Amino acid sequence: MLKHKLDRLENNIDVEAESRLSHLVSQLNKLEDLKNSNEYKGALGEIAVIKKLTELSDDYFQFNDVYLELNEYIKFNGSSLKSAQIDHLVVGPTGVFVIETKNWSKNYTQTVFNEGSYTPYDQIQRSSYIVYRYLNDNKYGNAIQKTYHNLANSEVKVKSILAITGSTIPFEKHRFVRVARYNQIPSHIEKSKWLLTTAHINKIASKLCSKY
Task: Reduce the secondary structure of 57-68 to three states and give it as a string.
Answer: CCCCEEEEEEEE
The mean per-residue pLDDT over the stretch 159-163 comes to 97
Distance between CA atoms of residues 182 and 101, nearest Å: 8
CA torsion, ordered 58, 61, 62, 66, to nearest 10 deg: 170
Q: Tell me, what's the pLDDT at 151?
A: 47
Distance between CA atoms of residues 44 and 34, nearest Å: 12
Q: Tell me, what's the pLDDT at 117?
A: 76
Given a contact cutoff of 8 angstroms between Cβ atoms, the answer to whether 121 and 173 are in contact is no
What is the pLDDT confidence band of residue 210, given thresholds at 50, 70 and 90?
A: confident
> Among 13-22, 47-56, 57-66, 101-110, where is mean pLDDT lowest?
13-22
**pLDDT score of 161 more than 70:** yes
Domain boundaries, the chain: 2-34, 37-209
**pLDDT score of 14 more than 80:** no
> How many residues belong to the chain?
212
> Among 53-57, 95-99, 111-115, 141-145, where is mean pLDDT lowest?
141-145
Measured CA to CA in angstroms, residue 50 lies from 43, 45, 90, 115, 132 at distances of: 10, 9, 11, 30, 22
What is the pLDDT confidence band of residue 175, given thresholds at 50, 70 and 90?
A: confident
Angle between helices 38-53 and 13-35 (to 10 degrees): 50
Q: Tell me, what's the pLDDT at 52?
A: 96
Q: Tell me, what's the pLDDT at 205?
A: 95
Task: Supply the mean pLDDT for the chain.
Answer: 83
The mean per-residue pLDDT over the stretch 104-125 comes to 88
Distance from the Cα of residue 119 to its chain's centroid: 14
Q: Tell me, what's the pLDDT at 108?
A: 87
- Which amino acid appears at position 158 of this protein? V
